[in-house]
Chains A and B, each alone.
Chain A
Amino acid sequence: MMRLANCLFPTRFGLAILSAVMLALALVVMAPPAAAVEIREVTSPGGITAWLVEDYSAPVITVAVAFQGGSSQDPKGREGMAELTSALFDEGAGPYDSKMFQARIAKLGIELGYRDSRDQFTGVLRTLKEDSADAFEMMRLTLTELHFDENAVDRMKNAIIAGIERKRNSPGAKAGEALRQTLFGDHPYGDPGDGTVESVSAITREELAAHFSRLFARDNLKIAIVGAMTAEEAGQMLDNVFSRLPARAQLAPVVDARVKFGDTLSVEEDIPQSQIVMAYPGVKRDDPEFFAAYIANHILGGGTFSSRLYDEIREKRGLAYSVDSNLSTYDHAAFISVSSATRNDRAGETVDLMRSEIARFAKDGPSEAELEAAKKYIIGSYAINNLDTSAKIASTLLAMQTEQLGIDYIDRREKLIGAVTIDEVRAIATKLFSVKPTLVVVGPKSS
């Protein structure tokens, strides 16, 4: 085993003697800096704005971008357009055809990828500092000189259709699909995000190119930069990469969804484990009650080993490996989904237990102790979950911009959560969980 020459305590005796002193020191030395990240707003000479965190601990730069839009902009009958667009970003741009483009990415050793969600496209570029000029040029090409080559379009359509076929056989995806349809109906959120075999097949390269030019512009763009880069370098890069985008996007208006709850759907399928999903109303990110709802969801079934549902369903009874609840927020809708998967002969029992636990929560809300623990978790977990890698810092910066939380949000967040009262959480728990939920069960008839 390697021992560094400068290691102070090569033997345990040294450790034992000095440990008390070291401990006292440790408490002082290890106090974290007040602000973990310093975010600056940078505006380029050409007027393009980004948020920047300078970090020279590794010779790496991450640039993350978000364009408002996403699959909710897919034209009717052309569902899957956003998915196909994301897939085409590394299939040829500027002077490079598909193969040359990918060879160049491989040669530079950079990571460049795009994906779509309901409300936006996001892209991430990661590069070593020494390759950054070439890397930024590749990003520029993807945003302004994408090819939509016939061959590549055909290939990616095929790959997406293969993915759709695979999903058809996944019990979890089936439950999600059924839930989405019943919650959102005709709203664009009700469409399958990656389209159908028919809709994807129908998309032409001309439609793609036209759609692209409407969706990728400067006024619906947010940018985050993390890494070995000064503000001045960032400004130059911003102008080089983004200035040739059109000034304005032409987004189709998306109305707020009127989410419908209360349906019961059973999707009959001969599988060994039943999938259960229940959906309740949620609260959007920009709603003043957001944190109260977030806390309520956390206590009921959020991501720790001590939520109520985890305790009742898994810990006490061994009914399931997974059980949790999630608050999903979109630009135009929000809902809470509570999911589990359990053996078929106990699916009924599990659903009953989920219902009764949720009803109890709706009636009484959390205890003071639960609220306190939840607040501590939600406050403390932010840095641990969101700021420990530069890739995550970049995506956090992006989310803060798209959600319009303000550049000082990280500093304000603790106060916002601390201010939530037990009455507010009880009130929101009653409001959300008294609604008759939508229930989806995928499993054999008997369950």
Chain B
Amino acid sequence: MRRVSPIGIPGLSLLVGFLLLPLAHSIAQAEETRGPQVSSTTLSNGLEVVVIPDRRAPVVTHMVWYKVGAADEKRGKSGIAHFLEHLMFKGTKNTPAGEFSRKVAEIGGQENAFTTADNTAYYQKVTPQALRMVMTYEADRMENLVLSEADIVTERDVILEERRQRVDSSPSAILSEAAGAALYDNHPYGIPVIGWEQEMASLTLADAIGFYDQWYTPNNAVLVVAGDVDAAEVFAMASETYGKVRRRAEPGLRVRPSEPDHLTPAMVTYSDRRVSEPAMRRTYLVPAYKSGKAGDGEALEILSSILGGMQTSRISTALTVDDPIASSAGSWYNSNRDYGEFGVYIAPRPGQDLTEAGKRLDAIIDGVIANGVTQEEVDLARSSIIKSAFFDRDSQTAMARLYGSVLTTGGIVEDVTQGPDRFREVTIEDVNRVARQWLDKKRSVTALLLPEIEPETDNGSVVK
């Protein structure tokens, strides 16, 4: 039955980057010859402006990305990046609360915002005629946000409800959070983007304004406009609106604590009576596209595709088709700014043993590490990654997200446009090397999702 469950409800969404925007997958999106003619410039106040023309329909996607995310929060203030994202809808010294949203709705526009570990973005999808209007309002809230105590109190309740909905209501989300915390010994990626509940509950108006004043400034932002527009016109409009925003701060380079060597494989388990079938996932700490050796990200992406990213992949074929022990199994790679994560997962068929399923999964990974992959596998994975880029290009919003995401995580435009070439350069040796180098259990967290063990009487004693 459609739309009865409240999932997918419009609201200020929290985008835990790797779930919704697999950077790794999408970096191949632009095709060098037939891709959009992307242009960019930088305003004198430091705002970077990128325009991606797509003139098929009278629609334009307007996004402002700030180079700040949850991983830039002060210790003890987890959730402030996302809290501020919500509070940005509360009005400015020039604009009463709700006016911007009303104006967007009045022309049938869409709007939202999201926060990841590395960036925070605000966007509207409108008609080209409304572009100046949204630019004016968005530029206004870049420097003129006004918050009251009452805003803080109600909106803090909203983010706490959001946490209850996204995390507390889902055993697998609870486990993911714990696994994330265990994967990072030192880097703040271990802290959930939405924040820890007790810290969220004590966030204040001063925290929000402090964060805003530290990070929200044109020289720490990227404006991405995609759709039925001309680059020169967008540059002109940007200059007249955003160009007037003063340079409010000098956030400087984002330097975050780094990870020490990982010597101890970690295991987290979570039992919950809401779980009916057990499952296992393991996450390896691996390089990001930009932080590792050039080409490692692409090689890891191809490895993930070969191992378990497609229905014909090794894990899927062996564990769900040939001698099926699992109802689903696979792998993924995702890249944040500073580190990447390579994951494998398996959900045994009802009645099948999780330990046994995990062993068979391990045997496949060990096989790839020991014997490598085949050239045929590399070619298939590569071509499917490059071809899927064409389909992704169908969506101007997806393109705007791709560029915004790359440009706020240490990348440049060429990182997108050269994506397909970089995939073509990956050799079988690269794939085998990253498998040997990075799929090391010492760098991993294995997370087990288990049904609750009912207290039962066994020879008179209670086993829990």
Residues of A that sit less than 8 Å from B by CB: 1-4, 7-10, 12, 15-16, 18-19, 22-23, 25-27, 29-33, 36-37, 55, 57-60, 90, 98-99, 102-103, 105-107, 109, 111, 117-118, 126, 128, 155, 158-159, 161-162, 165-166, 168-173, 175-176, 179-180, 189, 193, 270-273, 275, 277, 303-306, 314-324, 326, 328, 337, 339-343, 373, 376-385, 387-391
A158 to B347, CA, bound (A): 11
Tell yes or no: B206 within 8 A of A by CB: no
Stretch at the interface among B69-77, B281-289, B387-395, B424-432: B387-395
Q: Is the CB of A37 within 8 A of B57?
A: yes
A266 to B358, CA, bound (A): 39
Question: Separation in Å of the A126 CB from the closest CB of chain B?
Answer: 5
Tell yes or no: B208 within 8 A of A by CB: no
Binary contact track B120-139/A, C-beta < 8 Å → 1, others 0: 00000111110110000000
Known A-B contacts A1-B42, A7-B41; A328 and B3 likewise in contact (beta carbons under 8 Å): yes
Where chain B touches its partner, the secondary structure class is mixed
Q: Is the CB of A99 within 8 A of B321?
A: yes
Q: Nearest CB to that of A30 among chain B residues?
A: B128
A19 to B240, CA, bound (A): 8
Stretch at the interface among B105-113, B331-339, B455-463: B105-113
Q: Could you say which residues of chain A place their CB within 8 Å of the CB of B129?
A: 27, 30-32
Stretch at the interface among B165-173, B175-183, B262-270, B364-372: B165-173
A261 to B331, CA, bound (A): 45
Pick from A60, A128, A165, A321: contact of B350, CB below 8 A: A165
Q: Is the CB of A19 within 8 A of B154?
A: no
Q: Is the CB of B413 within 8 A of A2?
A: yes
Q: Nearest CB to that of A305 among chain B residues?
A: B101
A60 to B391, CA, bound (A): 7
Tell yes or no: B56 within 8 A of A by CB: yes
Stretch at the interface among B223-231, B246-254, B291-299, B440-448: B223-231
Q: Is the CB of B312 within 8 A of A376?
A: no
Q: Is the CB of B37 within 8 A of A4?
A: yes
Q: Could you say which residues of chain B place their CB within 8 Å of the CB of A4?
A: 37, 39
Known A-B contacts A315-B154, A319-B157, A328-B1; A339 and B6 likewise in contact (beta carbons under 8 Å): yes
A176 to B160, CA, bound (A): 24
Question: Separation in Å of the A289 CB from the closest CB of chain B?
Answer: 20
Stretch at the interface among B7-15, B18-26, B185-193: B7-15
24 A-B contact pairs sorted by A residue (CB < 8 Å): A1-B48, A10-B41, A19-B236, A26-B233, A32-B127, A102-B311, A162-B327, A165-B277, A273-B165, A305-B111, A306-B102, A317-B154, A318-B157, A328-B4, A337-B4, A339-B5, A339-B9, A343-B160, A377-B108, A380-B107, A382-B108, A383-B58, A384-B108, A384-B125
Q: Nearest CB to that of B234 among chain A residues?
A: A26
A57 to B109, CA, bound (A): 24
For the complex of A and B, list the 10 residue pairs with the smallest distance between their C-beta atoms, beginning with the closest: A380-B108, A32-B58, A318-B157, A109-B387, A381-B108, A172-B5, A318-B154, A176-B4, A322-B9, A162-B327
Q: Is the CB of A304 within 8 A of B10?
A: yes
Q: Could you say which residues of chain A place their CB within 8 Å of the CB of B11?
A: 314, 321-322
Q: Could you say which residues of chain B place their CB within 8 Å of the CB of A103?
A: 312, 380
Tell yes or no: B317 within 8 A of A by CB: yes
Residues 285-334 of B at the A interface (beta carbon under 8 Å):
310-312, 317, 320-321, 324, 327-328
Q: Nearest CB to that of B398 among chain A residues?
A: A389
Question: Separation in Å of the B229 CB from the closest CB of chain A?
Answer: 7
Which of A19, A59, A337, A387 gathers most chain B CB within 10 Å? Answer: A19
Q: Could you say which residues of chain B place their CB within 8 Å of the CB of A189?
A: 1
Tell yes or no: B349 within 8 A of A by CB: yes
Q: Is the CB of B40 within 8 A of A2?
A: yes
Q: Could you say which residues of chain A place their CB within 8 Å of the CB of B125?
A: 384, 388
Known A-B contacts A36-B57, A162-B350; A306 and B328 likewise in contact (beta carbons under 8 Å): no
Known A-B contacts A303-B10, A324-B9; A381 and B390 likewise in contact (beta carbons under 8 Å): no
Q: Is the CB of B158 within 8 A of A314?
A: yes
Question: Separation in Å of the A445 CB from the closest CB of chain B?
Answer: 16
A137 to B43, CA, bound (A): 52
A201 to B152, CA, bound (A): 52
A189 to B413, CA, bound (A): 50
A339 to B236, CA, bound (A): 44
Q: Could you say which residues of chain A place their CB within 8 Å of the CB of B9?
A: 322-324, 339
Q: Is the CB of A320 within 8 A of B390?
A: no
Q: Is the CB of A168 within 8 A of B276?
A: yes
Q: Is the CB of A128 within 8 A of B327?
A: no
In this complex, the interface size class of chain B, counting residues with CB under 8 Å from chain A, is: 35 or more
Q: Could you say which residues of chain A place their CB within 8 Å of the CB of B401?
A: none
Residues of B that sit less than 8 Å from A by CB: 1-7, 9-11, 34, 37-44, 48, 54-59, 89, 98, 101-102, 105-111, 125-129, 131-132, 153-162, 164-165, 168-171, 227-233, 235-237, 239-240, 243, 273-277, 310-312, 317, 320-321, 324, 327-328, 347, 349-350, 380, 383-384, 386-388, 390-391, 393-397, 412-414, 417
Q: Could you say which residues of chain B place their CB within 8 Å of the CB of A379?
A: 108
Q: Nearest CB to that of B317 among chain A residues?
A: A99
Q: Is the CB of A318 within 8 A of B390?
A: no
Pick from B101, B155, B327, B383: contact of A304, CB below 8 A: B101
Pick from A16, A33, A128, A385: contact of B387, CB below 8 A: A128
Q: Is the CB of A384 within 8 A of B127?
A: yes
Q: Is the CB of A166 within 8 A of B277?
A: yes
Q: Is the CB of A8 within 8 A of B34?
A: no
Pick from B59, B89, B310, B386: contact of A106, CB below 8 A: B310
A170 to B165, CA, bound (A): 11
Pick from B6, B107, B413: contact of A324, CB below 8 A: B6
Question: Separation in Å of the B390 CB from the closest CB of chain A?
Answer: 6
Question: Separation in Å of the A37 CB from the closest CB of chain B?
Answer: 7
Question: Known pairs A31-B129, A323-B9, A328-B2. 20 more at Cβ < 8 A?
Answer: A2-B38, A26-B233, A26-B236, A59-B390, A109-B386, A126-B391, A158-B349, A162-B277, A162-B350, A175-B4, A179-B1, A272-B169, A305-B98, A318-B155, A320-B161, A321-B162, A322-B165, A324-B9, A341-B169, A373-B102
Q: Nearest CB to that of B5 among chain A residues?
A: A172
Q: Is the CB of B312 within 8 A of A12?
A: no
Q: Could you say which residues of chain B place their CB within 8 Å of the CB of A162?
A: 277, 327-328, 347, 349-350
Q: Is the CB of A30 within 8 A of B240?
A: no
Q: Could you say which residues of chain A place their CB within 8 Å of the CB of B229?
A: 30
Pick from A29, A171, A303, A373: contact of B169, CB below 8 A: A171
Q: Could you say which residues of chain A place their CB within 8 Å of the CB of B59?
A: 383-384, 387-388
Question: Separation in Å of the A337 CB from the closest CB of chain B?
Answer: 5
A99 to B9, CA, bound (A): 37
Question: Separation in Å of the B202 CB from the closest CB of chain A?
Answer: 16
Q: Is the CB of A22 within 8 A of B233?
A: yes
Question: Separation in Å of the A155 CB from the closest CB of chain B?
Answer: 6
Q: Could you say which residues of chain A place their CB within 8 Å of the CB of B98?
A: 305-306, 315
Q: Nearest CB to that of A154 among chain B residues?
A: B324
Q: Could you say which residues of chain A place their CB within 8 Å of the CB of B390?
A: 58-60, 128
Q: Is the CB of A377 within 8 A of B168?
A: no
A180 to B168, CA, bound (A): 25
Pick from A12, A57, A159: contact of B243, CB below 8 A: A12
Q: Is the CB of A58 within 8 A of B42?
A: no
Question: Separation in Å of the A116 CB from the closest CB of chain B?
Answer: 12
Q: Is the CB of A1 within 8 A of B349?
A: no
Q: Could you say which residues of chain A place their CB within 8 Å of the CB of B10?
A: 303-305, 324
Q: Is the CB of B276 within 8 A of A169?
A: yes
Known A-B contacts A59-B34, A328-B1; A1 and B239 likewise in contact (beta carbons under 8 Å): no
Q: Nearest CB to that of A100 among chain B residues?
A: B312
Q: Could you say which residues of chain B place their CB within 8 Å of the CB of A391?
A: 394-395
Question: Separation in Å of the A189 CB from the closest CB of chain B?
Answer: 8
A341 to B350, CA, bound (A): 30
Known A-B contacts A22-B233, A29-B233; A118 and B161 likewise in contact (beta carbons under 8 Å): no
Question: Separation in Å of the A333 CB from the closest CB of chain B?
Answer: 10
A322 to B110, CA, bound (A): 17
A379 to B127, CA, bound (A): 12
Q: Could you say which residues of chain B place their CB within 8 Å of the CB of A303?
A: 10
